[in-house]
A and B are shown apart, each in its own frame.
Chain A
């Protein structure tokens, strides 16, 4: 036991001696959560659009006014010819062009029908679709005003209630994700080179000839980083509560316990990478190249998992971040207790045990 404590002490010295890394470890997550919390959103605001008005009459003017009055759109320019639409898109200046047909008012009065084309730059399908829907909604509202003295028979009206996030703030969606991604990547990165570093610097030999057992080395390596990561987690949670006004509907204590569990699983994953790679460079490339994109894309942080193809949904199960995001959203936004998230908790626990056991097994007690 004394030996083990000595080993942990050595690890602490290693970490605290390198002030620069320490500064980076604490400074980076704060900078990132502040930046991303504000900047990552898929709400559509102030989209630049262009207008091609072939009729230039009272009705089209009124519609154009309505569109420019909405907070979603800024009318950047007027196009005069159909042929110009392509060049406007190619320069990337606007995302959509509204094309009003000739004699818009006249057709509306005569035939009770007039057409407008919503031409969107669908290289970004999501934005294109949303723009199209918003313009449609504005036009429908206008149409309703025009039709206000006609009553429709049989109306079933959906009364929609948006629960857990009534104002549809995208912060609620993205802050738990940002918290998870940062915690996961920082934690896994910290431990991923701890053992390879000793291998590369030649100090591994000394560790191997000492009477410390493999699992003691593994635990001892993880232990100090748990403290660092907990401090990080506390800072991140505080920032999300006080800066981004995230609610904590459930128990803060439970959130703390779950965070510690998640941190340990990420650290254990880092250790696993460390034991299987020969050089620091390899370990870093695995933890950077191998983890970053899969964690960002398959955790449900930005893209909904339920929309992915079946095989990817299955792959997403092995991403610890996915489960933690479900847990964080559950506790912070839905206010659930352990009885609703025990399954996710158990999965994280299982992963942690698996990572540690595999690291101990893969830990080579002989030099190559």
Chain B
């Protein structure tokens, strides 16, 4: 026990001695949490909008005015010709072009049905779909208004059937993205810091040559590993605590579930990450290699965690790959407990999987660490 304490003491000293590292470990992640959580939104707004009015009638102007009044559409540019509009779209200055045909008002009166040209930059397919919904909604609204303004009473005899839908957004009524993203980004930062630090720790001693000195001491394998990993475990838990505080104070993220449950899960989860880090450390010769491998896994873990894009949308084989992603479990648990108030029973399956993962990874790590070359 005493031996472990000495190793832990040594590790902490090494961490706190490196003045260049301290801000990176403690300030950078929290700064990113506070700033970047604002960036992660799929909301479509400030749509760059242009129109070509070939009609110049009061009706066409009224239609444009509708778009102007909407909060979703931002820049309104009036283009004299289609050519100029499409060139602006190539330059990326606008994303949506509305083309009002000639004799718009006249034909509408005469034929009661008219097509409106809408061109949408669809490179971001999801956003294009939403933009289309917005446009359709505005035009429909305009139709309704026309009906009221122009229609004679006699036309309205048969009452159409109406299925009314009431959308209810549970757990996040205002569809606030920060509520969704802050727990996830916090999870990510805790995982990244602990993985990078542990992954490059032992290999550093290898590269500098001090590992040999430790290997010739009577320190046991398990003592050494526990002593090495414990400080990072503490850092991870500390980061979680400060991150949760920031989430509460700055972003006002609800915390419906129990804090104890979050800490219980995190304490096991960090063991998984440390096990992976140690495993990487054992299988590499230089810090450079360790870094590359840690990076490789972290990018995969991040992008396939369901944090930014939903896992259900992935193809089946990719969903199976995500089963091996510890960050996925952590993101899921944090969101469930914080936002939905899920209890111990609800997250039990995830807790069991994570515990098994921790045992397997650390088993591998201890097994692969050899005191002799």
A-B complex is real: yes
* A residues adjacent to B (C-beta < 8 A): 18, 20-21, 24-25, 28, 31-32, 35-36, 38-48, 89-92, 95, 108, 112-130, 132-133, 135-136, 139, 142-143, 146-147, 150, 152-170, 172-173, 181-182, 185, 189, 193, 197, 200, 277-282, 284-286, 288-290, 292-294, 296-298, 302-304, 306-309, 312, 315-316, 326, 329-330, 333-334, 336, 340
Interface residues of B in 32-83 (CB under 8 A from A): 32, 35-36, 38-48, 63, 74
Contact A158 B168 (CB under 8 A): no
Pick from A146, A157, A170: contact of B126, CB under 8 Å: A170
Contact B124 A173 (CB under 8 A): yes
> Provided the pairs A122-B175, A159-B118 are in contact, do residues A38 and B318 lie with their beta carbons within 8 angstroms?
yes
Q: Which residues of A lie under 8 Å from residue B223 when comparing CB positions?
A: none
Contact A153 B38 (CB under 8 A): no
Contact A150 B346 (CB under 8 A): no
Contact B309 A123 (CB under 8 A): no
Q: Which residues of B lie under 8 Å from residue A46 when comparing CB positions?
A: 312
Verify if B128 is at the interface (C-beta below 8 Å from A): yes
Q: Which residues of A lie under 8 Å from residue B74 when comparing CB positions?
A: 306
> Provided the pairs A24-B292, A293-B36, A297-B39 are in contact, do residues A156 and B159 lie with their beta carbons within 8 angstroms?
no
Contact A289 B296 (CB under 8 A): no
How far apart sit A66 and B264, CA to CA, in the bound complex (Å)? Answer: 44
Which interface residue of B36, B124, B166, B185 has the most chain A CB atoms within 10 A? B124
Verify if B268 is at the interface (C-beta below 8 Å from A): no
How far apart sit A166 and B129, CA to CA, in the bound complex (Å)? Answer: 11
Contact A289 B24 (CB under 8 A): yes
How far apart sit A306 and B72, CA to CA, in the bound complex (Å)? Answer: 11
Q: Return the CB mask of B167-178 against A: 1 if under 8 Å, else 0.
A: 111111101110
Contact A163 B172 (CB under 8 A): no
Which residue from chain B places its CB closest to the CB of A178 in the assembled complex?
B303
How far apart sit A213 and B167, CA to CA, in the bound complex (Å)? Answer: 67
Shortest 8 CB-CB distances between A and B: which pairs? A168-B125, A122-B169, A162-B122, A39-B318, A125-B175, A122-B172, A126-B42, A165-B122
Contact B126 A156 (CB under 8 A): no
Contact A164 B168 (CB under 8 A): no
Contact B166 A116 (CB under 8 A): yes
The contact size tier of chain B is 35 or more
Contact B161 A161 (CB under 8 A): no
Verify if B4 is at the interface (C-beta below 8 Å from A): no
> Provided the pairs A289-B28, A340-B91 are in contact, do residues A124 and B20 lie with their beta carbons within 8 angstroms?
no
Contact B314 A41 (CB under 8 A): yes
B53 to chain A, nearest CB (A): 14
A102 to chain B, nearest CB (A): 14
Q: Which residues of B lie under 8 Å from residue A296 when comparing CB positions?
A: 302-303, 308
Extra contacts, 19 of them, besides A159-B117, A284-B291, A307-B44 (Cβ < 8 A), are A24-B293, A28-B296, A90-B341, A90-B343, A91-B346, A92-B346, A113-B162, A114-B163, A117-B166, A118-B167, A120-B168, A124-B180, A126-B310, A146-B161, A156-B139, A156-B143, A156-B146, A189-B295, A302-B40
How far apart sit A223 and B365, CA to CA, in the bound complex (Å)? Answer: 38
